[in-house]
Amino acid sequence: MAQRAQRRLHLNAFLMSTGHHEASWRLRESDPHAGTDIAHFVRLAQTAEQAKLDSIFFADSPVLWGSVAKRPTSALEPTVLLAALAVATSRIGLIATASTSYNSPYNLARRFASIDHISGGRVGWNVVTTAGADAARNFGLDAQPLHDDRYARAAEFLDVAEKLWDSWDDDAVLADKAAGVWGDEERVHPVEHTGRYFSVRGPLDIPRSPQGRPVIVQAGSSENGKDLAARYAEAVFTAQQTLEDAQAFYGDLKRRTAAVGRDPESIKILPGIVPVIASTEAEARRRDRELDELIRPEYARNELAGVLGLSPRDLPLDAQLPEDLPSEDAVEGAKSRYTLIVELARREHLTVRELIGRLGGGRGHRTIAGTPEQVADALQTWFDAGAADGFNIMPATLPGGLDDFVDHVVPILRERGLFRAEYEGATLREHYGLARPIPVRAEAVPA
Amino acid sequence: MAQRAQRRLHLNAFLMSTGHHEASWRLRESDPHAGTDIAHFVRLAQTAEQAKLDSIFFADSPVLWGSVAKRPTSALEPTVLLAALAVATSRIGLIATASTSYNSPYNLARRFASIDHISGGRVGWNVVTTAGADAARNFGLDAQPLHDDRYARAAEFLDVAEKLWDSWDDDAVLADKAAGVWGDEERVHPVEHTGRYFSVRGPLDIPRSPQGRPVIVQAGSSENGKDLAARYAEAVFTAQQTLEDAQAFYGDLKRRTAAVGRDPESIKILPGIVPVIASTEAEARRRDRELDELIRPEYARNELAGVLGLSPRDLPLDAQLPEDLPSEDAVEGAKSRYTLIVELARREHLTVRELIGRLGGGRGHRTIAGTPEQVADALQTWFDAGAADGFNIMPATLPGGLDDFVDHVVPILRERGLFRAEYEGATLREHYGLARPIPVRAEAVPA
Ligand SMILES: Cc1cc2nc3c(=O)[nH]c(=O)nc-3n(C[C@H](O)[C@H](O)[C@H](O)COP(=O)(O)O)c2cc1C
Ligand SMILES: Cc1cc2nc3c(=O)[nH]c(=O)nc-3n(C[C@H](O)[C@H](O)[C@H](O)COP(=O)(O)O)c2cc1C
């Protein structure tokens, strides 16, 4: 019990337009224009902040993703969205995805440093390599770079970004009005990076930010993805359907992190869950089913076919997946997502129609439909069983699903001593119990 | 008089940390950390909005510019800064510089479209090609691309961006809940651009924004710069020291705009002025001189030497510029700035020290030190004489210099019927009297 009182779980709210369920926009209460409405996101951010969640998160891919007929698209670019939300909130952490394949390190490092300043140290970056040829074609390429190359570029991108964030010493700004010396040129260092993918002179054009560096988040669960996370990530988003899989992933990633010489506590693992909450389990299940019934299977099948590298004609709705799918090794797109989908279908002998229902709710994440107690129990079980340091909450509907979670589940977690009653720190790092990074240069200098 | 009542001038506030005077940060009242303090910029934006200015503007270069010893650096990245200010204001226009040389059209077009949504149609983009090798070296290049190449890339960049902004028809979002069709796939168009610099498939991943496209601003006054402005720009920032030069520039640019088939009214020309305001002219001049005396000439000389392509040793402080400087044709950096500096020094027979004082105040822009009436008169003279459609106000000190301008000069302009008393429109385009652009696709379709 003393143990439990000390180990607290972390909660991130993963937000997107009308919610994670692909048919959520069709509900009467949903605003189908929510994806471009800043007032909608301000309300969500403030709701999450009132509940003292660690952070909110926005996913991203620099491409029109999927079918516009099917659902509202991702909409507002997340780095500018975070900046807007930074001034509408004061404590909650703010995390956005950005791609290492389709950005330059200088531009992206500056934007994150700037948002860290604007928010007073509350920013995090979900580092992704961006799967898919459609995104590549928005950036002068015919096809996506190979999976290995994307991850090699991601690692070098992070090296450059860290050097840029560290290019100003924490005490570089002297502001000596009498002498007329604003910054100390000896404490602002060129980066002089030359590597396989990038050559960047630096220094960054902004003083070191409150957190030193943004919190680095990672969400790829392939072998490459886990290796990248072990080296760089401080939080990890992952989709896990069963407790056993989640425990295996958790143990594996903590071991990899230790193996590269890092403290396993310095990486927080957050499986995603889609809560569908009602006062009875039957009512929650009914809500979940009603949402699934609003899915238009033809649109969803087109997308599924894309992920599996098949034609929609290969996927009759009432049959199971074809037998002869390639192994993950042969996939160049999002490897871990591919495997998760195929394994889910095989394990539960799902037809394409059933699989679409499962994915439509949370795109591969675990849906928990039940009472607030049942949802809290499910979270606690995974947390206590070494499967999670916290959770990525992906409401099926928004704003309603977030309201339900913070109004009904968070108080139970709090009562059980599993979740904070007040913010204790000021920065995103402090919310997650992460240390402020020591500058790379300082590390390099002999003591 | 009836004429004057109708023709109103436009006012943009060009904001940067502690003000445009390079020594402004040394004043007792200045906050030397203002450049990374969002509260400072929120206050400035709200001051400008209360005065009903058309817009505020932030310059940018993706490089640590000049000497950190000399003055606070540019600091917060302007696109995220605009997004933050969008939620702290409701009417004023929001303009930021971004480089066509060191961005991808897809990423930048999305960010501006997103800010246009967040601000309800108030965003503008100052399109620059970014001079200097130091910036190039942050993006994998050894030297800057040639001036002609930078401008050719800028033109293609704008073509791609316009296609992306127009890739969703205004009525593409159906939001038909009953039928389960969110967007109309027939009204969202791939861009399929293939050109010399870019190949971009599109469409953009966000519905068309309130203004259709951001307002395009341009600030290069070289031949290439003026040609780009004539084709694409809707507002132009320019540095002009004399009425004659300003009239010549104004006439030239309006003619070039007409020559490419555009209405000369559809491009607003805004020379920059640095107002230094006090209740007597003598007091204003004293303030201006005091600021100049705070300049540390060694830092400023290093920068001047950089712009002129010389070594600081070639520039003794109390001598005039060397005789044998190259002509603008031979310059690959910021051509029009080079010429402006050399001509100013020659025309007024300035020593290097005097030239540094003049540039330190407004980096080549015209300083007007005087009473509120004198400043208003100076603006009115240029406005009436066909030298300006409005002005780019560059306060020497911030926030004080902006307060002085809006408290003392704006009321005089308003009294004279030269400036609005209330916002009449909702968008930046409406403030400047600019039309909402017709989508390129629609133009291409026969009527
Ligand atoms: C909660 C969560 C959020 C994710 N967000 C993004 C995202 O915003 N953008 C993206 O491209 N991929 C996102 N991903 C996908 C992973 O990054 C994905 O696995 C990646 O595209 C391919 O990596 P892999 O091949 O290592 O699995 C997310 C995954 C999870 C579990
Ligand atoms: C008011 C004003 C603002 C400017 N802002 C920027 C800026 O933010 N970034 C930049 O690179 N250049 C800026 N410029 C400089 C011009 O764009 C400059 O002329 C350009 O760098 C080179 O163009 P040119 O060779 O056509 O003169 C500005 C110029 C003026 C007059």
Quick one: pLDDT band at residue A327, thresholds 50, 70, 90?
Answer: confident
Mean predicted lDDT score pLDDT of chain B: 93
CB atoms within 10 A of CB B113: 32
Sign of the dihedral through C-alpha A177, A179, A184, A185:
positive
User: Would the CB of B362 count as within 6 Å of ligand 2?
Assistant: no
Model confidence at B444: pLDDT above 60: no
Q: Which residues of B touch A207 (CB under 8 A)?
A: 36, 73, 75
Closest CA to A385 of A277, A281, A269: A269
Any idea which of A38-42, B2-6, B83-87 has the lowest mean pLDDT?
Answer: B2-6
CA of A239 to the centre of ligand 1 (A): 9
Greatest alpha-carbon pair distance for chain B in Å reads: 79
Distance between CA atoms of B430 and B144, rounded to whole angstroms? 37
Please give the average per-residue pLDDT across B144-158, as a whole number.
96
Mean pLDDT, all residues of chain A: 93
Please check the confidence at residue B253 and state whether its pLDDT lies above 60: yes
The answer, yes or no, to whether any atom of ligand 1 lies below 6 A from the CB of A222, is: yes
Give Cα separations from B12 to A185, A379, B107, B126 (angstroms). 33, 53, 26, 12
- Separation in Å, CA of A69 to nearest CA in chain B: 4
Confidence band of A283 (pLDDT split at 50, 70, 90): very high
Residues 6+ apart with CB under 8 A from A204: A106, A109, A110, A113, A164, A165, A167, A168, B64
Question: Does the Cβ of B225 fall within 6 Å of ligand 2?
Answer: yes
pLDDT digits over A69-82, tens only? 999 976 899 999 99
Q: Is the pLDDT of residue B259 over 80?
A: yes
Per the CATH hierarchy, to which homologous superfamily does domain B2-432 belong? Luciferase-like domain (3.20.20.30)
> Tokens representing B204?
């953009």
Interface test with B, best of A81, A153, A205 (most B CBs within 10 A): A205
Contacts of B118 in chain A (CB under 8 A): 38, 76, 80-81, 84
pLDDT tens digit sequence for B69-99: 999 976 899 999 999 999 999 999 999 999 9
What tokens were used for A23? 């048919």
Ligand 1 atom with the smallest distance to the CA of A131 is 21
**Is ligand 2 within 6 A of the CB of residue B222?**
yes
Is B71 close to A182, i.e. CB distance below 8 A? yes
Q: Residue B249: pLDDT above 90?
A: yes
Q: How far is A417 from chain B (nearest CA, A)?
A: 36
**Residue B2: predicted pLDDT:** 43
* B59 alpha carbon – ligand 2 mean position (Å): 8
* Mean predicted confidence (pLDDT) in B131-140: 95
Residue A66 has pLDDT above 90, yes or no: no
Which residues are CB-contacts of B106 (< 8 A; sequence separation ≥ 6)?
A: A62, A102, A138, A139, B160, B164, B200, B202, B204
Structural contact between residues A385 and A247, judged by C-beta atoms closer than 8 angstroms: yes
| ipTM score assigned to the predicted complex | 0.94
> Of the ranges A49-53, A89-93, B273-277, B313-317, which one carries the lowest mean pLDDT score?
B313-317
Contact A68 B26 (CB under 8 A): no
Whether the predicted pLDDT of B220 surpasses 60: yes
> B148 CA to middle of ligand 2, Å?
15
Give the distance from CA B231 to its chain's centroid.
17
A185 reaches B (C-beta below 8 A): yes
pLDDT of residue A336: 81
B256-263 CB contacts, 8 Å cutoff, 24+ apart = B256/B226, B256/B227, B256/B229, B256/B230, B257/B229, B257/B230, B259/B230, B260/B230, B260/B231, B262/B230, B262/B231
What is the mean predicted confidence (pLDDT) over B12-16? 97
Q: What's the rounded Cα separation, in Å, for the pair A76 and B113? A: 8
Cβ of A84 within 8 Å of Cβ of B81? The answer is no
- The per-residue pLDDT for B139 is 98
B5: pLDDT strictly greater than 70:
no
Q: Return the structure tokens found at A222.
A: 């392939």
Pocket test for ligand 2, best of B134, B221, B245, B269 (most atoms within 8 A of CB): B221
pLDDT at residue A47 greater than cutoff 50:
yes
Describe chain B by its helix, strand, coil percentages, rounded to 5. Answer: 45, 15, 40
Phi, psi for residue A45 in degrees, rounded to 5: -60, -40
Residues B247-258, mean pLDDT to the nearest whole number: 98
Put simply, whether B133 touches A (Cβ < 8 Å) is no
Binned at pLDDT 50, 70 and 90, residue A364 comes out as confident
- Please, where are the H alpha helices in B51-172? 78-88, 105-118, 133-136, 147-165
Work out the pLDDT band at A442, boundaries 50, 70, 90.
low
Nearest-Cα distance to chain B for A179, in Å, is 9
In this structure, chain A runs to a length of 447
Domain ranges in chain B are: 2-432
At residue B247, the pLDDT reads 98
Query: What tens digit of pLDDT does each residue of A83-122 get?
Result: 999 999 999 999 999 999 999 999 999 999 999 999 999 9
pLDDT at A347: 92
pLDDT over 70 (residue A1): no
A chain contacts of residue B199, beta-carbon cutoff 8 Å: 137, 140
Token couple for B421? 């008393």
Q: Is the pLDDT of residue A130 over 70?
A: yes
Ligand 1 close to Cβ of residue A238 (< 6 A): yes
- List the single residue in A84, A103, A172 with the smallest CB-CB distance to B118: A84
> Is the backbone peptide bond immediately before A78 cis, with ω within 30 degrees of 0?
no
Contact A100 CB / ligand 1 (< 6 Å): no
Q: Using a pLDDT cut of 70, give the percent of chain B over it.
A: 96
Position A328 scores a pLDDT of 82
Higher per-residue confidence, B85 vs A361? B85
Task: Name which of B131, B375, B389, B413 is nearest B249 in CA terms.
Answer: B389
CA pair distance B157, B109, nearest whole angstrom? 10
Residue B442 has pLDDT above 70, yes or no: no
Are B205 and A64 an interchain contact pair (Cβ–Cβ within 8 Å)? yes
Going from the Cα of B17 to the center of ligand 2, the distance in angstroms, rounded, reads 18
Q: Which of A16, A31, A65, A80 to mutate to test the interface with B (most CBs of B within 10 A)?
A: A80
For residue B409, count other CB atoms closer than 10 A to its CB: 25
Nearest ligand, CA of residue A59?
1
- Residue B356 to residue B288: CA distance in whole angstroms: 13
Q: Can you tell me which atom of ligand 1 is nearest the CA of A270?
A: 1
Quick one: average pLDDT of B159-184? 97
Instruction: Sort out which chain B residues have CB atoms less than 8 A from A94's CB and list them.
Output: none
**How close is the Cα of B127 to the center of ligand 2, in Å?**
9
CA of B236 to the centre of ligand 2 (A): 10
Give me the residues of A, 205-224, that contact B with CB < 8 A: 205-207
| Structure tokens belonging to residue A295 | 């899915």
CB of A376 within 6 A of ligand 1: the answer is: no
Query: Which member of B61, B71, B80 has the closest CB to residue A118?
Result: B80
Q: How confident is the model at residue A441 (pLDDT cuts 50, 70, 90)?
A: low
Best A138, A163, A185 member to test B by mutation, with max B CBs in 10 Å, is A138
* For range B248-275, the mean pLDDT: 98
Q: Which ligand is nearest to the CA of A154?
A: 1
Mean pLDDT in residue range B60-66: 91
Mutation test residue for ligand 2: of B60, B126, B127, B274, the one with most atoms within 8 Å of CB:
B126
Interface of B with A in 308-367 (CB under 8 A): none
A219 CA → ligand 1 middle, Å: 5
**Residue of B80, B177, B185 with shortest CB distance to A114:** B80
pLDDT of residue B445: 45
Interface of B with A in 231-260 (CB under 8 A): none
Cα A49 to Cα A59: distance, rounded to the nearest angstrom: 19
Distance A398 CA to ligand 1 centre (A): 21
Which pLDDT score, from 0 to 100, does residue B441 have?
Answer: 67
Q: In angstroms, how far is CA A368 from the centroid of its own chain? A: 19
How high is the pLDDT of residue A362?
67
Task: Name the A residues in 45-64 with CB < 8 Å from any B CB.
Answer: 61-64
